Structure 1
């Protein structure tokens, strides 16, 4: 399908979503564009745009990654909490966005996902500026259910904040779990599982469980 036709077909649903979050005069500018076949499970919560001068801020469900079939790879929108946007944000086709009632997701400017990212928040996820995520990446700040230590009866936290810094690249199939901190300039290797706070900037983080594998490298020019 040609991109222009794809965008035209997406206008009614994009307006429907935009009018839920913004006054009519702003919604008419379509600050949120969702692809026409996006599954809208819940259009609730609120979206806060820090800088409204850029026009269309959030693009959801579009893209052109050849190994994904856009006809069948539907994106899913399930928003009940708060999303804060500082600039342009792009979630590619097949992406899944789930934000719980009391959760806050804050995304900096120039965020880009190629395709099929899953972002799930029940607490708080902060993503910095110039972050790139490849396909099939997962960022999730909750376990969904408690875990109990049978020896001391301690119940571990179900959800913890996730902090992803500026200029970070999450490679394909990387997984970022609750309590994880990814510092500025880091690259998370393909198929890595990150479940702790890292402190070294401009590093390659890789493996399962992930560890720092190389220092003084970054995707972006400093």
Structure 2
């Protein structure tokens, strides 16, 4: 049974790679996709740098709290700059004019939601907690009565390198974080929030809780 499951994973992943990548890259199967539900595959995928088998995992069963698989809705452009792990029950949606860029060593355990209408950039060595939501659009523009015009409903998002987003964080349109930031449980990260490097942020509205701290990858786990 396990052999059949492994063969199914490799076969489905090979077809996924073949759809998106040049043949020389596709035959290496750099992207493993687990139990996908496809909404759209009209867009493109580009992998920059050295290509290695299984360097990108999409929807891998990593967290027992969530169901298996990933929902995939790509009508735009997705760029991977290295290794990436997106956990189970996640949803990735890129609109026809959207560009999603994911840096080297970006990891999520489960239930990540990314909605990209224009541009979302996630730099290297990011850790995205359970149920993180990243979106560059509110979908519904408001009308400014005095100026007689609609306010922008789409703003680019940039998450700096070595950020750590705790469980259920929400990254709103226009957010721009520097490197080495930590965001606590259910932080709402907006474009005007006070954000500094080497700080822990939290609360509503977002504020700095502690300065001069950082997460050291590889030395940041406890036994459970």
Tell me how far 1:199 sits from its aligned partner.
4.5
Once residues 172 and 5 of structure 1 are traced to their aligned partners in structure 2, the CA distance between those partners, rounded to angstroms, is 34
C-alpha separation between the residues in 2 aligned to 1:134 and 1:6? 27
Which of 25, 45, 48 pairs up with 1:47?
A: 45
Q: CA deviation at 1:64?
A: 2.3
TM-score (norm 1): 0.90
What's the CA shift string for 1:78-112, capped at 9, x where partnerless?
11111111110110000100011111111110000
Aligned to 2:60: 62
Tell me which of 206, 210, 215 is aligned to 1:219: 215
- CA gap of 1:24–1:54, structure 2 versus 1, over 3 A, is closer
Of the structure 1 ranges 114-123 and 51-60, higher mean CA displacement relative to structure 2 is found in: 51-60
Unaligned runs of 5+ in 1: none
Paired residues of 2:36 and 2:72 also in contact (CA < 8 A): yes
Q: Which residue number corresponds to residue 124 of structure 1?
A: 119
Write the deviation string for residues 35-79 of structure 1: whole angstroms up to 9, x where unpaired: 1x2101111221111113333332101032122243xxx410111
May I ask how many residue pairs the two structures share in their alignment? 217
Counterpart mapping for 1:1-222 below 5 A: 6-35=5-34, 37-70=35-68, 74-197=69-192, 198-220=194-216
Give the whole-Å Cα distance in 1 for the aligned partners of 2:196 and 2:22. Answer: 43
**Aligned with 2:66: secondary structure?**
coil
C-alpha distance in structure 1 between counterparts of 2:207 and 2:195, whole Å: 11
User: Under a length normalisation based on structure 2, what TM-score does the superposition of the two structures give?
Assistant: 0.89
8 Å CA contact 1:111, 1:132 repeated in 2: yes
Contact 1:17 1:43 in 2 (8 A): no
SS of residue matched to 2:51: helix
Query: What is the rounded CA distance, in whole Å, between the counterparts of 2:94 and 2:55 in structure 1?
Result: 18
1:195–1:209 contact (8 Å) kept in structure 2: no
Instruction: State the superposition RMSD in angstroms.
Output: 2.0
1:110–1:5 Cα change, 3 Å: farther
1 CA distance for matches of 2:40 and 2:57? 17
More divergent stretch after superposition (152-161 vs 116-125): 152-161
- Counterpart contact for 2:28–2:52, Cα < 8 Å: no
